[in-house]
Amino acid sequence: MYEIYQISAERLQGYFPDAFSSLTHCCEYLVGFWLYRHAYKMNAYDDGLKYSLSAGNWLIAFTCLRNMFEEIAHYNFYLSRIERNVKKIDQLEKNETKRVRQGKRPSDKWIKDYISCDLEIIRNIEKALQGSDFDWASWIKQNLQGLHDEGLASQAFKQSESRKTHVNDCISHMEKGHNKPFSAYYDILSEMVHPNFGSNTLVIKTREKFNQTFGRVWMAGAIQEQEAACWFFEVASEPMAETLAVSTRNLSVAKNLYSAFQRRAEASSSALGHGLVKPNADRQKLN
């Protein structure tokens, strides 16, 4: 997959025939890169989950599940924004296709609105990919200075100005969109990861109660007994079943959007007067 390091009119001028083609290729690249990055992260979490389940390491298993939950909620949050802008593009093309096919130039307002939609897609994905509150520039500079390479350390690292998106905003959005108690699901997953009562139960192998005052407890980091597995699935099954259902819909929608943007990019090399490729072909509705 190719990369575009700086998306600006000055940088892209000369590589594409016009602004429409330039922005279309940028959207295609970002939608695709964002989709594959998300898929590879989910695959990595899934690998970790499979390992932890086979080993009976329930602490790692819940850590993987909570990370998957956050990744799904974050992706769903921005995918819904991309979907909204694509719908605007659909409507713009529907309103203007007849005039374009007649060889008439779209109005200045139509061009401005169309370009604004593409720019909004680019801004949203940039924030989704690069948003952060961590001072990466200072961290990188400090570590490069430790290598005693003045030339390397002096090279500027330009960090995105986009702030991170708080996971609670993503969860609230997913809860409203799908009418499921995702905030409550996140609370129980967090309880099983943080150093609270919940996570402490995951290293207790079994107990033997002598009376109301005394007993005996066995602990282990990896527990493959049936009782421990039942406790894990009792807590995790409902939250992850509902969350993974959202993830499946997200991936299906994103895959269709990426295919549509690929078709737009292929068609964008031709003159605008040859017609516009609609980006909603085969696209599924994001619920």
More confident residue, 188 or 5: 188
Structural domain total, the chain: 1
Sequence-distant (≥ 6) Cβ neighbours of residue 249 within 8 angstroms? 284, 286, 287
> 3-state DSSP helix/strand/coil percent for the chain, to nearest 5?
70, 5, 25
Give residue 16's pLDDT.
81
pTM of the entire structure?
0.88
Q: What is the pLDDT of residues 20-78, one digit of tens each?
A: 888 888 999 999 999 999 999 999 999 999 999 999 999 999 999 999 999 999 999 99
Domain assignment present for 4: no
Domain assignment present for 157: no
Q: 85: domain range?
A: 16-150+180-274
Domain assignment present for 75: yes
The mean pLDDT of 114-125, rounded to a whole number, is 94
Q: What is the pLDDT of residues 87-106, one digit of tens each?
A: 999 899 888 888 877 888 88
pLDDT over 90 percentage in the chain: 63
SS3 assignment, position 16:
strand
Least confident window among 3-7, 124-128, 263-267, 271-275 = 271-275
Give residue 153's pLDDT.
52
Binning pLDDT at 50, 70 and 90, where does residue 269 land?
A: low
pLDDT higher than 50, residue 167:
yes
Domain assignment present for 193: yes
The mean pLDDT of 212-241, rounded to a whole number, is 94
Domain assignment present for 192: yes
A 10 A CB-CB count for 4 gives 17
CA 30 to centroid of chain Cα atoms: 12
Positive or negative, the Cα torsion across 81, 168, 74, 135? positive
Domain assignment present for 81: yes
Domain assignment present for 168: no
Give residue 279's pLDDT.
44
| Burial class of residue 207 (count of CB atoms within 10 Å of its CB; 0-12, 13-18, 19+) | exposed
Provide the Cα torsion 64, 67, 71, 73; round to 10°.
110
Domain assignment present for 156: no
Give residue 254's pLDDT.
96
